[in-house]
Amino acid sequence: MESKGLSRNNGENKAKPKRKEIIEKRKAMDALIKVASAEKDCLSAFPAFRHYQISGLSAFLESGRGDKLSSPVKQFIQNLLKANMEGPYGSEWPAEEKVKRREMVAPEARYVFVRIASSGEFLTTSEREKTAASCVEERGPIVGFVHFRFVIEEELPVLYVYELQLEPRVQGKGLGKFLMQLIELIACKNHMGAVVLTVQKANSAAMNFYLYKMRYVTSTISPSRVDPLIGIEKSYEILCKTFSNEAKAILEEPLELVHSV
Ligand SMILES: CC(C)(COP(=O)(O)OP(=O)(O)OC[C@H]1O[C@@H](n2cnc3c(N)ncnc32)[C@H](O)[C@@H]1OP(=O)(O)O)[C@@H](O)C(=O)NCCC(=O)NCCS
């Protein structure tokens, strides 16, 4: 999902930081983003998250990057996005699909892929036949992924979740929650101020998942909070979970009202 930011009035009654301070702060943020993005395997610090097992579902996580995706993986991503997102996007889908294809292969795109075990009960008949024919212990098929990036949003370093997509056969089994918990740990480990994401309003299942299960809140940079009129026009909301007081003040707390007497 495209990183969507909206500029807002940060309270004109606050003392403006000095130019030098702004430059220093920006340099420090750029350095954080650079270090976070340079990590080769985002899972290396979280070995317990490489394997997920619950009620018959055995899944393995792998990391990846946008400029290193194989053709079959790109095809898988495109197919899953279409299957899951064409409905919520409605008439916006053809344009959005093109945007997502470009975003998919960007060098700054980071991925966590979910594979299911090649012996698992969630395999389709053709996947099962393929595994049996190969006569070797194979990695099973990919059934979902998270695409995220380390970016600067509203002068804050954040982890922006562009996509979280699971095939229907593995939805509702705790994997989404498991992946978001991992994403939050990756964000904290890399000193990001928040996890930010965009959700289509029409995708009520995902909206419920983030708001009520993952405890995300509608950000102050979301169209509906910047201006209710803009909010009505836009088809998406920006949600966030903050990890520092500075991030909370920028992304979560209501704008200060400037009263003129
Ligand atoms: C949205 C999505 C990522 C959620 O992942 P998931 O693995 O299906 O969800 P989980 O099984 O981890 O659910 C975690 C919790 O959220 C709840 N939940 C999941 N889907 C829900 C829904 N549609 N409505 C309400 N609660 C929901 C579960 O009951 C569970 O609660 P619990 O912890 O109390 O048991 C997944 O369903 C998906 O890929 N959907 C299609 C693509 C999509 O919409 N992606 C989001 C785009 S922004």
CATH number of the domain within which 244 lies: 3.40.630.30
Domain count for the chain: 1
- Mutate-to-test residue for ligand 1 from 177, 179, 183, 236, highest number of ligand atoms within 8 A of CB: 177
Q: Assess if residue 108 is contained within a domain.
A: yes
Q: Assess if residue 55 is contained within a domain.
A: yes
Q: Assess if residue 187 is contained within a domain.
A: yes
Q: Assess if residue 258 is contained within a domain.
A: no
H or E element that contains 96: helix 93-104
Q: What is the pTM of this model?
A: 0.89
What is the model's pLDDT at position 259? 45
| Mean pLDDT of the chain, nearest integer | 89
- Say if residues 43 and 112 touch (Cβ distance below 8 Å): yes
What is the model's pLDDT at position 9? 47
H or E element that contains 143: strand 142-153
Q: Assess if residue 10 is contained within a domain.
A: no
Residue 104 has pLDDT above 50, yes or no: yes
Q: Is the CB of 179 under 6 A from ligand 1?
A: no
Cβ neighbors of 178 (< 8 A, separation 6 or more) are: 49, 52
Instruction: Over range 142-146, report the average pLDDT.
Output: 97
Q: Assess if residue 7 is contained within a domain.
A: no
Q: Which residues are bridge partners to 149 per DSSP?
A: 160
CB atoms within 10 A of CB 68: 11
Q: Assess if residue 64 is contained within a domain.
A: yes
Q: How far is CA 23 from CA 12, 26, 248, in A?
A: 20, 5, 22
Say how many Å lie between the CA of residue 209 and the centre of ligand 1.
5
Q: Assess if residue 84 is contained within a domain.
A: yes
Task: Print the domain residue range for 106.
Answer: 39-251
42-67 tens-digit pLDDT: 999 999 999 999 878 999 999 999 99
Residue 40 has pLDDT above 70, yes or no: yes
Burial 131-145 (b: 16+ CB within 10 A, else e): beeeeeebebbbbbb
Q: Which of 58-62, 100-104, 117-121, 245-249 has the lowest mean pLDDT?
A: 117-121
What is the model's pLDDT at position 210? 98
166-194 tens-digit pLDDT: 999 999 999 999 999 999 999 999 999 99
More confident call, 137 vs 50: 50
Say how many Å lie between the CA of residue 214 and the centre of ligand 1.
9
